[in-house]
């Protein structure tokens, strides 16, 4: 679990309905993921490709920009969702990287995360 979220505040719990969204950004993220479930699959795929290329640290913004690129130009590598581009809000980037880190604890250092406005004061970023 991401230290910045605090004990029991995981993205997995949020998406499963096990906790309430702490702010409008989290609520919007949950709605977005429900409408665009392929986004996490793409985020995971492209992160793993970056790791296979030798990266040990990566920008989640870079991964999101690749998703935007791949879906916008309709390459064979990624299918468009319902024939449209995926419109990923910039605020979703932080939640996608936290979610990926929760699911891949062995590679927690892949993405650096910072506190967001609703995190408890004094909680640290990454280890």
Contacts of 102 (CB under 8 A, 6+ apart): 1, 2, 10, 11, 12
What pLDDT is attached to residue 70?
84
Which residue positions in the chain have pLDDT lower than 50?
1-3, 6-7, 120-127
Check: CB of residue 64 under 8 Å from CB of residue 31. Answer: no
Q: Please state the pTM of the whole predicted model.
A: 0.78
What pLDDT is attached to residue 60?
95
67-84: per-residue pLDDT in tens? 988 887 765 555 555 555
What pLDDT is attached to residue 127?
38
């Amino acid at each position: 679990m991401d230290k910045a979220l605090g004990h029991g505040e995981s993205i997995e719990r949020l998406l499963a309905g096990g906790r309430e969204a702490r702010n409008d950004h989290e609520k919007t993220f949950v709605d977005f993921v429900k409408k665009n479930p392929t986004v996490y699959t793409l985020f995971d795929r492209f992160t793993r490709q970056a790791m296979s290329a030798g990266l040990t640290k990566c920008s989640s913004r870079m991964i999101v920009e690749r998703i935007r690129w791949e879906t916008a130009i309709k390459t064979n590598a990624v299918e468009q969702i319902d024939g449209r581009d995926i419109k990923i809000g910039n605020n979703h980037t932080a939640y996608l990287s936290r979610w990926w880190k929760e699911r891949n604890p062995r590679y927690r250092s892949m993405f650096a995360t910072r506190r967001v406005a609703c995190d408890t004061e004094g909680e640290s970023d990454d280890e």
